[in-house]
Structure 1
Amino acid sequence: MELSLSSPYVAEYVKAQTALMQVIDPELSVNIIDLGLLYGIDFSDAGKAVVTMTLSTPYCPMGDAIQSGVVNVLKACFPDREVEINLVWEPEWNYDRISESGKAQLGLI
């Protein structure tokens, strides 16, 4: 997820991204931000935070746990917003989406 300093929601994006670093993929022991699973968050509706994200595979056995973690940390940060997850498969997740920090945690570099 790229942040734009000109966005009217930059403060919310930074707060959300920081919180979402607490959501760990239980199989890989790396947070979803460093894994590149988060594609974006829409704060344009004052009552919602719509998260667009993916999982490493459509059959990810921990997908429900990861999504629950996303909802839980965002509800804690934004108690006045409903959290909605838009799970997508395009663009398809791949190892290139993993940050340098994530690759280091996985022993890939």
Structure 2
Amino acid sequence: MTENPTVAADETPAELPAYKSALLEDLEEAMRDVVDPELGVNVVDLGLVYGIDVDESNIAILDMTLTSAACPLTDVIEDQARQALTGGPGPGLVDDIRINWVWMPPWGPDKITDDGREQLRALGFRV
């Protein structure tokens, strides 16, 4: 994940209106409810979320990758992300989502956050 994954690639934090910056932070936090079904750790702490933005139609655009390009569970992750960002009690954070599956830069264990490493160790993984 980038140093500030909630910021669109073409904007710096200083250029974002306060409401959008807060929304992007809320979206990133909500994505922590999306758990990789194979590893049991959320996609943010695994470093699978490369970027989050919201377009003028209130659709969240997520740049994400997977631990393996051959992962058969993209539908599960997409369904979880849609529920986390558009569902829940009351109105969702956004009206819909679009995930851009990206493969560059490739995912590697170096992208896992410290929290993600702790979660993996608790599950018995060596990282």
Distance 1:89 1:56 in 2: 10
Distance 2:114 2:58 in 1: 34
Tell me the alpha carbon deviations over residues 20-64 of structure 1, each in whole angstroms, 9 at most, x when there is no partner: 111111111100010000011111424321111111111113222
Which segment is superposed worse, 62-71 or 4-13?
A: 4-13
Distance 2:35 2:106 in 1: 20
Q: Which residue of 1 aligns with 2:108?
A: 94
1:15 counterpart letter in structure 2: D
Q: Aligned runs of 1:51-66 on 2, under 5 Å?
A: 51-66=62-77
Report the identity percentage: 35
Tell me the alpha carbon deviations over residues 63-95 of structure 1, each in whole angstroms, 9 at most, x when there is no partner: 22012111121112325x231111111111110
1:30 aligned onto 2:44? no
Q: Which structure has greater strand proportion?
A: 1
2:35 counterpart letter in structure 1: I
**Matched positions, count:** 108
Q: What are structure 2's unaligned runs of at least 5 residues?
A: 8-12
Q: Which residue of 2 aligns with 1:70?
A: 81
2:62 counterpart letter in structure 1: V
